[in-house]
């Protein structure tokens, strides 16, 4: 969940069963899940290496080269039949366009945070994302929360207030990342989340491609386009942003078909933890004591959400076996 992570695995296809190369489907799913969230966790180091390119240039390259990568995969697999129905469905295309604008907002804010030395703010945003998603479920979808979920949301709000007061400023970057990604997930849920990861990413980048192309033209006219100015490695890193965007998403999609949603929920916290470690250990960002306390409060809320998810899964499995939850071994 990052800077391009899917916000939800709801309505995903049934889990894959069987074995491949002697490893169970669940085993492969776990490996792919760790690969996806691990790659997202290293994004701060990748985007920091793209400096002195600015956030808008990086965003534009990321969109265009992701589209190029998706197009190559579709050509190789001859997978085009799904395009026609989407472009003939105005409601679906409108929803995808809105989702694309939200994920583009998320991407540019994330890259701007990393390249300006505020990676820890970005990490906080992705820690807060599950809490914002739960809150949206109540406000927009009318979902009813269990006690632990209400407690987690309340603690999350308290963490935000503490960070704002202790830091002397509202954590705008973190809140923008959390809100944009949660809204992105909400729209995908409203649309039914029926598109496979590659198809969804292709259409979203198709929608954003004209804006990305215009952005590069404007930057070139202003003389601030950095592409090709800093050696072949920098140039190829910008080109590689397409693969860097698509690869973890495809790993995630494959993992989500093989392992339970709760497992995905637990693995997802690898990303903001790695982002925070990258900020402190490799990018030289300073974390004052009050920020560590604020992060700690958020982690308490996330622990409660995790416990609630595990209890809910346990209850669902008991119901499937027609065993009362209270009679389950403890």
pLDDT digits (tens, 9 = 90+) for 197-209: 889 899 999 999 9
pLDDT digits (tens, 9 = 90+) for 99-137: 999 999 999 999 999 999 999 999 999 999 999 988 888
Answer whether residue 14 is part of any domain: no
Q: Containing H/E element for 23?
A: strand 23-24
- CA Rg, the chain, in Å? 20
Answer whether residue 36 is part of any domain: yes
Answer whether residue 6 is part of any domain: no
Q: Which residue has the higher pLDDT, 35 or 144?
A: 35
Q: Which domain holds residue 196?
A: 19-316
Answer whether residue 233 is part of any domain: yes
Average pLDDT, the chain: 87
Answer whether residue 329 is part of any domain: no
pLDDT digits (tens, 9 = 90+) for 62-97: 999 999 999 999 999 999 999 888 888 888 899 999
Answer whether residue 330 is part of any domain: no
**305-326 as b/e: b if 16+ CB within 10 A:** bbebbeeeeeeeeeeeeeeeee
Q: Confidence band (pLDDT; 50, 70, 90) for 50?
A: very high
Number of domains in the chain: 1
CA distance 216 to 60: 7
Answer whether residue 327 is part of any domain: no
Could you tell me which of 329, 320, 307 has the C-alpha nearest to residue 152? 307
For the chain, give the percent of residues with pLDDT over 70.
Answer: 87
Answer whether residue 326 is part of any domain: no
CA distance 63 to 212: 7
């Amino acid at each position: 969940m990052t800077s391009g992570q899917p916000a939800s695995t709801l309505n995903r296809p049934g889990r894959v069963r069987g074995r491949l190369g002697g490893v169970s489907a669940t085993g492969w799913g776990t490996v792919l899940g760790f690969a996806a969230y691990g790659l997202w966790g290293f994004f701060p180091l990748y985007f920091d290496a793209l400096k002195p390119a600015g956030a808008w240039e990086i965003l534009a390259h990321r969109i265009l080269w992701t589209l190029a990568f998706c197009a190559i995969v579709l050509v190789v697999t001859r997978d085009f039949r799904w395009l026609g129905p989407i472009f003939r469905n105005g409601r679906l295309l409108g929803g995808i366009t809105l989702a694309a604008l939200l994920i583009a907002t998320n991407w540019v804010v994330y890259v701007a945070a990393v390249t300006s030395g505020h990676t820890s703010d970005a990490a906080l945003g992705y820690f807060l994302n599950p809490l914002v998603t739960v809150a949206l479920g109540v406000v927009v979808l009318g979902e009813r929360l269990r006690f632990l979920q209400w407690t987690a949301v309340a603690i999350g709000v308290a963490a935000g207030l503490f960070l704002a007061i202790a830091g002397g400023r509202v954590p705008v970057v973190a809140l923008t990342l959390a809100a944009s990604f949660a809204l992105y997930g909400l729209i995908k849920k409203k649309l039914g989340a029926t598109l496979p990861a590659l198809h969804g990413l292709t259409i979203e980048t198709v929608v954003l491609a004209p804006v990305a192309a215009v952005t590069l033209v404007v930057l070139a006219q202003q003389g601030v386009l950095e592409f090709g100015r800093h050696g072949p490695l920098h140039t190829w890193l910008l080109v590689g942003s397409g693969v860097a965007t698509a690869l973890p998403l495809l790993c995630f999609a494959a993992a989500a078909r093989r392992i339970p949603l709760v497992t995905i929920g637990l693995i997802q916290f690898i990303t903001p933890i790695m982002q925070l470690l990258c900020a402190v250990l490799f990018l030289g960002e300073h974390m004052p004591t009050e920020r560590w306390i604020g992060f700690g409060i958020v982690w308490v809320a996330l622990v409660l959400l995790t416990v609630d998810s595990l209890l809910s899964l346990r209850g669902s499995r008991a119901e499937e076996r027609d065993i009362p939850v209270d009679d389950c071994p403890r």
